[in-house]
């Protein structure tokens, strides 16, 4: 009876709107497991497959690519070595920047690239395969020509990198939490530094790299990030002189800064005064119990109230839509992630859900997550709803980039 009713519901999907069909897909698939626990697993799997195929017929090419993107973000993919050799490379497991294609639809994604970890997805020539089935075509985004140049004595890719249509640089390429053995379990910051001279990058070096990268290219902005420091500025003191110099040289270039919340909130005003466009302070995990496990150092030194105070001060100076926070999906129970999304957006802050990932080319990396792409979809849908409810629209940052945060694809 249950299976018969579910198939009836799937038939009714033809009369639903597109967004409703997406909701139906993950609800039915997850609901089956909850409602038919007494049934044989093989039977349940068969019912789920029939429902999935039935509903999938009503999805547009763009919607299919959206679900493929979520699957790849959560599961990563294997890539032939010869294909990987030509990809841009900034640090450990930087990922594969792909354009997924189906019919006339296109969608961009930065996929975790694995060589040894088992994953059902692989890139074979220009085709994406999942569980032995070809699901779409894909083009690898070409490496920019300026990657072959140097700035000063350094390869430019050690100073500045392309991330989709944005440029990114790690200003302070270390995190003090590694020295206290309280680093975030999913972090690989201590593996990316290739020259000790670049531990703290000078403003002139970054401007020199931008002068080589920007001409002839339509990048949408610059993102400045870096590891945590023990000071009252939350690391913002490193960004202020850089934003000042870059803004003077490139007055129309949007600049986003990622930092921990400053204990001294006057640093946010200093950053605003030199012309920063947006500020990101990543909470990553909201559940207090899981914060102790997943981000022990941040939990120890930064309470949730520190974030809330910094959010309020930042919005007062930069405005709604210019303050954001990443949540790492898969670090806590689904219910608390949704609570965190609701709490943060209610304070006027954009939430960017990012799937927790694995780095299989770092021998010492211990974290081995397996985030569920259907639950990830639930978080994304809820975050979009909360943004709309609170009148929030991202102007800069992760959601405008859209490579890892797929809310813009919904």
pLDDT in tens, 358-386: 666 555 545 566 788 989 999 999 999 99
Q: Would you list the domain boundaries of the chain?
A: 2-59, 62-140, 145-409
- Angle, vertex CA 248, rays to CA 242 and CA 253, nearest 5: 80
Is the confidence at residue 73, as pLDDT, over 50? yes
The pLDDT tens digits of the residues spanning 100-113 come to: 999 999 999 998 88
The pLDDT tens digits of the residues spanning 195-227 come to: 667 778 999 999 999 999 999 888 999 999 988
The pLDDT tens digits of the residues spanning 146-181 come to: 999 999 889 999 999 998 889 999 998 777 777 788
Winning range, highest mean pLDDT, from 44-53, 320-329, 392-401: 320-329
pTM, 2 dp: 0.81
409, 100 contact by CB (below 8 A): no
Query: Considering the chain, what percentage of its residues have pLDDT values greater than 70?
Result: 76
Is the confidence at residue 392, as pLDDT, over 70? yes
DSSP 262: P
Is the confidence at residue 263, as pLDDT, over 90? yes
Q: How far apart are CA 142 and CA 139, in angstroms?
A: 9
In 3D space, the residue among 6, 54, 14 whose CA is nearest the CA of residue 34 turns out to be 6
Average pLDDT value for the chain? 81
What is the CATH code of the structural domain delimited by 145-409? 3.20.20.70
Is the confidence at residue 11, as pLDDT, over 70? no
| Cβ atoms within 10 Å, residue 389 | 11
Q: Measure the N-to-C terminal CA separation of the chain; round to a whole number of Å.
A: 33
Is the confidence at residue 30, as pLDDT, over 60? no
């Amino acid at each position: 009876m249950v299976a018969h009713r579910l198939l009836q519901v799937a038939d009714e999907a033809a009369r639903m709107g597109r967004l409703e069909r997406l909701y139906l897909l993950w609800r039915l698939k997850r609901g089956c497991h909850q409602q038919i626990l007494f049934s044989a697993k093989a039977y349940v799997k068969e019912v789920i497959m029939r429902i999935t195929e039935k509903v999938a017929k009503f999805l547009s090419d763009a919607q299919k690519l959206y679900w493929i993107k979520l699957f790849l973000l959560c599961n990563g993919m294997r890539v032939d070595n010869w294909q990987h050799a030509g990809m841009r490379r900034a640090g450990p497991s930087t990922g594969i920047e792909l354009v997924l294609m189906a019919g006339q639809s296109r969608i961009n994604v930065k996929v975790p690239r694995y060589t040894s970890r088992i994953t059902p997805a692989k890139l074979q020539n220009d085709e994406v395969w999942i569980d032995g089935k070809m699901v779409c075509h894909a083009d690898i985004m070409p490496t920019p020509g300026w990657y072959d140049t140097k700035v000063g004595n350094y390869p430019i890719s050690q100073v500045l990198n392309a991330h989709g249509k944005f440029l990114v640089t790690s200003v302070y390429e270390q995190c003090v939490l590694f020295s206290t053995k309280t680093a975030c379990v999913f972090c690989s910051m201590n593996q990316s530094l290739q020259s000790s001279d670049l531990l703290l990058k000078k403003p002139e070096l970054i401007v020199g790299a931008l002068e080589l990268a920007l001409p002839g290219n339509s990048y949408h902005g610059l993102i400045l990030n870096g590891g945590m420091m023990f000071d009252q500025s939350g690391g913002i003191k490193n960004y202020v002189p850089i934003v000042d110099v870059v803004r003077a040289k490139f007055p129309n270039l949007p600049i986003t800064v990622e930092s921990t919340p400053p204990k001294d909130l006057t640093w946010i005003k200093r950053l605003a005064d030199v012309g920063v466009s947006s500020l990101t302070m990543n909470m990553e995990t909201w559940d207090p119990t899981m914060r102790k496990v997943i981000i022990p150092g941040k939990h120890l030194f930064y309470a949730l109230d520190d974030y809330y105070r910094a959010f309020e001060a930042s919005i007062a100076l930069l405005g709604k839509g210019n303050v954001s926070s990443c949540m790492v999906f898969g670090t806590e129970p689904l219910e608390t992630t949704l609570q965190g999304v609701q709490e943060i957006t209610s304070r006027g802050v954009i939430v960017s859900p990012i799937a927790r990932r694995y780095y299989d080319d770092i021998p010492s990396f211990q974290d081995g997550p397996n985030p569920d792409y259907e639950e990830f979809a639930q978080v994304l849908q809820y975050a979009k709803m909360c943004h709309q409810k609170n009148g929030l629209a991202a102007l800069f940052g992760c959601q405008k980039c859209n490579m890892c945060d797929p809310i813009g694809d919904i």
